[in-house]
Structures are given as C-alpha cells and as structure tokens.
Amino acid sequence: MATGGIDGIARVWDTETGDTVLTLPCDKRRVSCVAFSQDGTRVAAGGEDTTVRVWEAETGRENWTERYGASISSLAFFPDGKRLATGNVQGQLSFWEAATGRHVLLPVDAAGAETGQVGIIGRREIRCIAFRPDGNRMATVSQENAARVWGMRDWTPRHILTLRGHSDSESCVAFSPDGRRVATGSHDGTVKIWDAENPQDSLTVTPHRPRVVALARSPDGKRVITGGWDGQIPPDILAAGVHTVELLCLAFSPSGERVITGGSDNSARIWDARTAEEVLALRGHSDVVGAVAFSANGNHVATGSRDNTAKIWDAQNGQEILNLAGHGGEVRSVAFSPDGRRLATAAEFSEPSLWDTETGQEITRLTGHKGRVSCVRFSPDGTRLATASRDHTAKIWDAVTGREFLTLKGHSLAIESLAFSPDGRRVVTGSEDKMVKVWDAEGGRQVFTLTGHSSGVRSVGFSPDCRRVVTGTYEGTVKIWYTETGREILTLNGHAGLSSVAFSPDGKQVLTAGLDGTAKIWYAFDWSVTPEDLEREQRERYKRWLERNRETPEAKKASTPE
C-alpha cells in the first residue's frame, strides 16, 4: 500500500505486517496523491511542489522526476501501465510516458474545455482521475460540481458525457470493474452511482456529514467504500437484477433466497434472488397480476389479479392449488396469516375478505371503510389485520372476529400501502399526500411523519430489526429512513415509476419493482448501525485515549487523539 503525507514523503507499506517497506522522499511539501501501476511495478506521487515522480515499487529507485505547472492534485496510471495521467490545481490534465517521463500535450476536445488551451479542461482543480478497466474511457472530477467522461483514442481524450447532480463540488470518481457504472463523491456529503451510458439513471447515497472526499470500488463491483470529513467509513448500496415486463408487485420468500414478482403479462414469476434467474412461471390468470405474497413457511404463494380472482400456488412446483373467486373487481392486495391458514385479500369494489386456505371458503368480510381498500397486512402474531384505504384512513381489525380495533387518521389523501413492524408495535403508512407516517399499533398514536418525497407514496416496508423503513413513490424514488429519529438515510433512483419495495428477511438487501419493467436488488449495509452509534463509539474512544494518556507528558503535548 502506498501513502502520501504532509511531511513530503511517500511511503510503501506491507499490508500484512504494517511495516514500512519504502520511504520515498518528495520534498518538504505535502504529497497530495499516490498510485500504483496496474502490474504493481511502479508507484507514482505528486504534490504541492508541482513535481511528478515515479519509482520502481520493489527497490525504490527513482525512474524520473518532472516539474509541471502547478501543484499536482490527482494522478492515475492507465490500465496498461504505459502511461500516467495527472491533474493540477489550475485545471490542467497531462499525460506522461510511465517509463521515461516524456510529457505529452493534449489537444482536448472543445466540448469539454472552457479555455480552449492545450491540456486544460477547466479553470479549477482536477481532484480525481479514473480509467475504465479497458482503458477506453476516462473520468475526471473538479470543483465545478460536475464529472466528465471521456473517450480515449491514442493520447487524445474526447468529451462524451457530463454528469451533473451534486449540489457541491465533487472530490472523487471511480469506474465499476465492468465499466458500466461511474461513482462520484461530493462535498455535499453524497455519493452518486451513474449509468456510464445514460447519466439520467443514478443512485444517490448520503453516507457522510458533511463531505465525501474519497471512494473506491471493490474488485467484484458489488461494494463501494467511501471516506468523509465525519470520520466514518460507511458501507455501500448497489443495484442489480432485471425483468422483461411491467412489474406491479414483488415479495421476498421468508428465507430471502427467492423473489416473486407479478406483472402485466398475466403471470407471476419466482426468481433466484442471488442469480436473478427465473425458477418458476405461474400462469393461470387471465389479466394483470398486481399482488403477490409468500406464506410464512415459504411453501405457498398467493397472487391477486385484475381478473377478479386470487390464487394460491405450490411454490416448489408452480401448481395451482386454489382459485378464490367472488371478488368485486381487481384484487389489489393479498397477505397470508403467519400460520398460513388464512389469506386476506383486498379488491377494488368490495370489502376486504378473509379466506380459509385449506378449503378456499370465504370466512368473513371487514366492513367499515368508506373507500376502496388498497392494502392488507397481518400483524406478526396473526391476531390483527391492518387495511389501508382511499378514504384517507387505515384500520386495524381483530383478525379472528373481524371487529374493528383502531382507525388511524392523519393523511389528507388516499393511503396506498402499509406494513406492521416485525415486533408488531408499529404500523407505517404511505399516502398520495407524499407523506409517510409511523403509528403506535396499540393505541393509534402518530409517532413520526416522514417528509421528503415529491410524489405520492406507493409502497412501504420495515426492516427486520424495526429500525428502518423503506418507501417508494409513483415517480420511482426510493428512500430509507431511521424509525427512531425519522431522519432520512439515503435516496435510491433507478426506476421510471415504481410499484413495490421490500427489505429482504435478513435486512441486507432492498428489493424494488418498477413500472419500467425492471426489478432491482439493492445491496445494503449493516442497518443495525446508526450515525448515533458511530458518534457514541467515537466519544468512547476519545475517553479511553484520555484515560491512557492522562498522566504522561506526551499526552499534554498531543494535539489530537488517535
């Protein structure tokens, strides 16, 4: 590992022992950037002394030194290791032959240059340079609140894309290993992951307060590590998975190993959540499938359709077991009781119904709403049933007798979705009024109102640890929130219209279904850790440092703790 410091020295370290392998003097001024060549044979450094240096990584012998223009703020080797790119604080981009140090002046495409001068792509500091693994693309970020993607032919960069979306200057950039995505970090505290061909398709993560100053991709492309001024290193989010039709609903199996989706092709499909491969296709409905659910043991699935029926299927072989007819219109929501013996359904023009899953007989109907019921959910213990309605209310019922237990009032427009927390103590509701509300499931007290969406909320769900809520809107935006404080964690943008969201049973993934015909699995981080937890840990570390050093003279002279 190579590092550069304010002492004007670059160092190479053994990552197994922590020992310094090489000490590479640069100057008495700050070393701003260091990089290894892809094959590990060379290490380069640049800094405030305006000098670029390259050494042999094994021996520390200096290959060449060149002084150029202004303080060097960024550098990166080409993937083939034959060239080195550098950027400085004046916006100058330069290429060098890695073996000899021969400087190559660049006739930069005018589409990316404000000045028109050779080798200058902007008036401000170039903070980071990254190459696609195949070397055919280069990305740069500067203080201009934008990242640029360049096509590379010979020694000449050709401007292709400008990625704009951060509210403050950008500090770092990286390509995914397959070159299909670009990640950017900004002083606005966010990381954005962009489609390298379509800059409109992006994911936004807010991992730091206030600034993101460094990021890197894992070799398999599934993780991003970031560093910020807040001293935290949060984990990542990334999207994957596809579907070929318009998706209207989805659900994880209890094990998290499978996913069921329903769509406009009149079928439901079961997928392997790890490989995104189709396992089963459930065909039998004569119209759109808009509701799906797994039973608690994962052996059965239920579907609801615009053909006015609900069906129960064997989740192992895809055979239809029951057809539940008699609904007044499209079946918009289905839910199994925890013991699997009952199924709740909500249809467009009739009251919610409870069905016996052994016989297919209707047990009872829940009468009380003054508008269409759009969602039904059982409590984790199976004793209560919650319903969401276009009459602006949600209700909680006795799941055995059908008696109304609570009415939750507070939304100003139709409630489209709701969910019980896994411990049964809370209910979350999402409404067309753009609001998300968290309620006390016992007394009906409103605990939080989560604001921030710019369109109606289509789907909501709790994380398994009850500490997070995921919400999705009609326009395709997904947000994740802390339930203890009501604070927004991050925003995910990846769909042109959204129908459903859900956490995986282990809480490590978020699944979304889009009206754009895609299903996406977003790889999440350890949701049990909050910023408050990290701040508490930092305070404890500081206290321990004070205790260890209280009596020593060195402690009195120290300016910062570890």
Q: Tell me, yes or no, whether 450 lies in a domain.
A: yes
Residue 505: CATH number of its domain: 2.130.10.10
Q: Tell me, yes or no, whether 376 lies in a domain.
A: yes
Task: Say how far apart CA 26 and CA 341 lie, in whole Å.
Answer: 73
Query: Are both 199 and 250 inside the same structural domain?
Result: no
Could you tell me how far CA 241 lies from the centroid of its own chain?
14
> Where does a domain end: 211, 239, 267?
239
Task: Say how far apart CA 388 and CA 396 lie, in whole Å.
Answer: 9
Task: Say how far apart CA 221 and CA 239 lie, in whole Å.
Answer: 10
Q: Please choose, from the candidates 253, 345, 342, the residue with its C-alpha nearest in 3D space to the C-alpha of residue 294.
A: 253
The single-letter code of the amino acid at 414 is A
Structural domains counted in the chain: 2
Whether the Cβ atoms of residue 324 and residue 308 lie closer than 8 Å to each other:
no
Could you tell me how far CA 274 lies from the centroid of its own chain?
17
Could you tell me how far CA 460 lies from the centroid of its own chain?
16
End-to-end CA distance of the chain: 21
DSSP-derived 3-state class of residue 1: coil
What's the chain's length in residues?
Answer: 562
Domain residues for 345? 241-527
Whether the Cβ atoms of residue 430 and residue 436 lie closer than 8 Å to each other:
yes
Beta-carbon count within 10 A of 70 CB:
13
Q: In this structure, what DSSP letter does residue 19 have?
A: -
Task: Say how far apart CA 30 and CA 7 lie, in whole Å.
Answer: 6
Q: Tell me, yes or no, whether 199 lies in a domain.
A: yes
Q: Tell me, yes or no, whether 554 lies in a domain.
A: no
Query: Are both 211 and 265 inside the same structural domain?
Result: no
> Where does a domain end: 174, 207, 239?
239
pLDDT by residue for the chain (562 residues), tens digit each? Answer: 999 888 888 999 988 888 888 999 887 788 989 999 989 999 999 988 889 999 999 999 999 998 877 889 999 999 999 999 998 888 888 899 999 999 876 645 434 443 334 345 556 788 899 999 888 899 998 877 788 888 887 767 888 888 888 777 777 888 888 888 888 888 777 778 888 877 665 566 554 444 444 555 555 555 555 554 444 333 333 333 333 456 788 888 999 889 898 888 899 999 888 777 889 999 999 999 999 999 999 999 999 999 999 999 999 999 999 999 989 899 999 999 999 999 999 998 889 999 999 999 999 999 999 999 999 999 999 999 999 999 999 999 999 989 999 999 999 999 999 999 999 999 999 999 999 999 999 999 999 999 999 999 999 999 999 989 999 998 888 999 988 888 888 888 777 788 889 998 988 888 888 877 677 877 655 444 455 555 566 566 666 666 665 554 454 455 444 4
Query: Are both 97 and 166 inside the same structural domain?
Result: yes
Query: Are both 465 and 328 inside the same structural domain?
Result: yes
Q: Which residue has the tokens 């590992």?
A: 1
> Where does a domain end: 190, 212, 239?
239
Q: Tell me, yes or no, whether 316 lies in a domain.
A: yes
Task: Say how far apart CA 185 and CA 279 lie, in whole Å.
Answer: 38
Q: How many Cα atoms sit within 13 Å of 194 on the Cβ side?
A: 25
Q: In this structure, what DSSP letter does residue 92 have?
A: B
Query: Are both 209 and 306 inside the same structural domain?
Result: no
- CB-based contacts of 303, cutoff 8 Å, min separation 6: 262, 268, 282, 285, 289, 291, 292, 310, 311, 313, 334
Task: Say how far apart CA 49 and CA 149 lie, in whole Å.
Answer: 28
Q: Tell me, yes or no, whether 416 lies in a domain.
A: yes
Could you tell me how far CA 24 lies from the centroid of its own chain?
39
Query: Are both 132 and 183 inside the same structural domain?
Result: yes
Task: Say how far apart CA 50 and CA 100 lie, in whole Å.
Answer: 18
Q: Tell me, yes or no, whether 534 lies in a domain.
A: no
Query: Are both 210 and 253 inside the same structural domain?
Result: no
Query: Are both 360 and 490 inside the same structural domain?
Result: yes
Query: Are both 40 and 143 inside the same structural domain?
Result: yes
**pTM beyond 0.85, yes or no:** no
Give CA angle at 222 (217, 228), nearest 5°: 45
- Dihedrals phi, psi of 353, to nearest 5 degrees: -125, 150
Q: Tell me, yes or no, whether 62 lies in a domain.
A: yes
Task: Say how far apart CA 308 and CA 331 lie, in whole Å.
Answer: 6
Whether the Cβ atoms of residue 371 and residue 364 lie closer than 8 Å to each other:
no
Query: Are both 226 and 171 inside the same structural domain?
Result: yes
Task: Say how far apart CA 368 and CA 407 lie, in whole Å.
Answer: 10
Query: Are both 6 and 65 inside the same structural domain?
Result: yes
Whether the Cβ atoms of residue 522 and residue 509 lie closer than 8 Å to each other:
yes
Query: Are both 168 and 53 inside the same structural domain?
Result: yes
Written as six digits, the tokens of 348 are 């467009």
Cis ω on the peptide bond leading into residue 219 (within 30° of 0)?
no
Q: Which residue has the tokens 């859900």?
A: 502
